Structure 1
């Protein structure tokens, strides 16, 4: 098993980041063109804690080697994601795992967004880790697959942060326009 870890800071409040998170795979994110569909399987609020729990199925088009596509006959892969949004503790935690070919390569990813304790109103900390386990008879091959997967995860994490930054910028613009439109509309009604 190999582990990938990544941390960064987004210069947006936790509230803005947690709202934009639901748009992470939208057209604004030109870095996530591999995502074909995001289907919500279930959504509920824990009545005791107020935590929003959402289960989603993410369908992706993978850039796999041609020989691998020929063996398995598909370019699509599926990921199950369960997210927990805690409005009291101000945390968003997402846990995901690959469903496709998980008997050969298992990836367990955890992502968390929390307010930056140094500037909670304006910055959000992003923490990501992935446990990557390849299965098979040959240790060298398993190690090579895990090393390749960690490197690929690193490359994709950079793209993911860039894409999410674009989503955050567009969300801020949309929120601003909505607020201005609402203010203008309220002003016109009172005049």
Structure 2
């Protein structure tokens, strides 16, 4: 098993981040053009805790290393199953995802957490990301290590692009929806 971990702080409030999170695969995010569809499978609020639980299927079209397709074959699309929990009381978003495509060859489990920054909770949001990679080629340790190492490296590159793209979405959301909120506030004040 190999592990990838990253963290950063976004210069946006938790409210902005948790709202923009639903838009991170939108058309204006040029860093996520590989995401072709995001389908919501279920969504419900736990009446006792207020936690919103959402299940989604994410469809991606990605180039796969040649050596992987020569060994295991390839399909044009890959699929990821994601479950997210938004806790408005604790101000915490937790997203857990796992690959469905090639899960018999490589198991990837990712957890992402957004919460208000410990240093500036009103204006910044801490981001933590962990992913665990387990190749399922028993008896072939050299191949197993190669698959896991290549997967972590590719994930690292994609995670960097993902954060850059999310920054773009956050900025656009602040401009578009921030301006809209400001106009609505001005209407209320002038009434």
Structure-1-length-normalised TM-score:
0.94
State how 1:112-123 maps to structure 2 within 5 Å.
Answer: 112-123=113-124
State how 1:97-136 maps to structure 2 within 5 Å.
Answer: 97-136=98-137
Deviation at 1:74, TM superposition (A): 1.1
Does structure 2 retain, via aligned residues, the 8 Å contact 1:54–1:83?
Answer: yes
Deviation at 1:72, TM superposition (A): 2.8
Q: Distance in 1 between matches of 2:134 and 2:60?
A: 20
Deviation at 1:184, TM superposition (A): 4.8
Q: Distance in 2 between matches of 1:37 and 1:53?
A: 19
CA deviations on 1:95-128 (whole Å, 9 max, x unpaired) are 0000011010110000000111111001100000
State how 1:1-191 maps to structure 2 within 5 Å.
Answer: 1-66=1-66, 68-69=68-69, 72-136=73-137, 137-186=139-188, 190=191
DSSP-derived class of the 2:20 partner = helix
Deviation at 1:187, TM superposition (A): 6.0
Deviation at 1:75, TM superposition (A): 1.7
Deviation at 1:159, TM superposition (A): 0.3
Gaps of 5+ in 1: none
Deviation at 1:156, TM superposition (A): 0.7
Q: Distance in 2 between matches of 1:185 and 1:14?
A: 26
DSSP-derived class of the 2:36 partner = strand
CA deviations on 1:157-191 (whole Å, 9 max, x unpaired) are 11011000000000001122212332454467x3x
Q: Structure 1 stretches (4+) deviating beyond 2 angstroms?
A: 65-73, 183-188
Q: 1:85 to 1:147 in 2, by over 3 A?
A: same
DSSP-derived class of the 1:132 partner = strand
Q: Distance in 2 between matches of 1:184 and 1:110?
A: 40
Count of residues in correspondence between the two structures: 189
Deviation at 1:62, TM superposition (A): 1.5
CA RMSD of aligned residues (A): 1.5
